[in-house]
Amino acid sequence: MDIRYRSKDGLELYAKSYGAENAPLTALCMHGLTRNHKDFEPMIDALLAEGLNVRFIAVDVRGRCNSESDQNVENYTPAVYADDMFTLLDHLGVEKAALIGTSMGGIMSMFMMSMAPQRILGVVLNDIGPELEQAGLDRISGYVGGNEPKENYEAAARAVADVQKAAFPNYTFDDWLAFAKRTYRERPDGKVELDYDPAIARTIGEVKPTPEIKQAMWALYAQLSAVPLLLVRGDISDLLSAENAERMITEHGNGELVTVSQIGHTPLLNEPDVVTALTKHLKSLEPNV
C-alpha cells in the first residue's frame, strides 16, 4: 500500500506498507544514503514468506525515489530525516515501532532513539555504527552525486557493478540488473538515471570522523542500550570494522551480531542467517508476532 504524507516543512514524502495493516508489530525500514524503499523488498519478501506477522513500512527519505526533493539542501541530514520518521509514525497512528536501519538509516535510528526512546521497541543496524572507516567513506563519496544517465537498465547494471563489485564479489549480471532496477528510474526519453537528488552528496562530504565526532557518536549509540539490538555486518565491509562491531555488542549488553560471508557494505538482509536472526529479533519484540 502506498503512503503519502507531509513533512513538518511541507514536503510530500512517500513510504510503502507491506504485510497486514493490523499486525501486532510495525517495523520501520530506513534505507542508506543513495537507496530507497525498494532496498528492503528482498528482506520483506523473505520474512513474509517465513510467515512473520509484522507490518513493514519502508520509506523514501526526502530527495529519494517517490519523495519530494528539498530545495534547502541543508535539510539533507539524518536528524531531519529522523524527525520526518516520527511525522510518518504519527500519520499512521503508530505509537511504538521497531527500527531497521541500513547504513544512513542506522544513523537515523540512533537519532530517533535520542529523540523519543519511549517509541522504539528494538533496533536493527545494518552495517553501520558510531565509528566509520575512512576507506568506506572515501569510496562512497567518490560515486555519490554522479548522475550521468544510462541508455537502459542493462547499462545501469554494468555501471553499478563497476562501483559495487568489491562489496558483492559473487553477484551475477542478473543480480546487478535487479540492483539497478531498485536504484535507477526511467526518464521520459527512455534513458535511466539514479533515483535520488544529486544534492544529497553534501551529506557524505560533511562526515568528518574526528575524535570529537567519534566520542559524540559513541554517546549517541549508547542510548540504544535501552532496547534489544541486532547488528548485521558484511564480513568484507569497508565501512564498519569487525573490531568496532564487536565493541558495539560488548558495550550494548543486549545485542546480537550476525556476520554475512562474502558481502561488503551492505547486506541485503535476505541472506539465510540474517533472515533467521531477524525473525528471532522481531518475534522477541512482540509475543504475538
How do the domains of the chain map onto residue ranges? 2-133+211-285
- pTM for the whole thing? 0.95
pLDDT tens digits, residue range 16-50?
A: 999 999 999 999 999 999 999 999 999 999 999 99
Listing DSSP states for the chain in one string gives -EEEEE-TTS-EEEEEEES-TT-S-EEEEE--TT--GGGGHHHHHHHHHTT---EEEEEE-TTBTTSPPPS-GGG-SHHHHHHHHHHHHHHHT-S-EEEEEETHHHHHHHHHHHH-GGGEEEEEEES--SS--HHHHHHHHHHTT----BSSHHHHHHHHHHHHTTT-TT--HHHHHHHHHHHEEE-TTS-EEESB-GGGHHHHHT----HHHHHHHHHHHHGGGGS-EEEEEETT-SSS-HHHHHHHHHHHSSEEEEEETT--S---S-SHHHHHHHHHHHHHH-TT-
Q: Which fold has domain 2-133+211-285?
A: Rossmann fold (3.40.50)
pLDDT tens digits, residue range 54-69?
A: 999 999 999 999 999 9
pLDDT tens digits, residue range 115-143?
A: 999 999 999 999 999 999 988 888 887 77
pLDDT of amino acid 124: 98
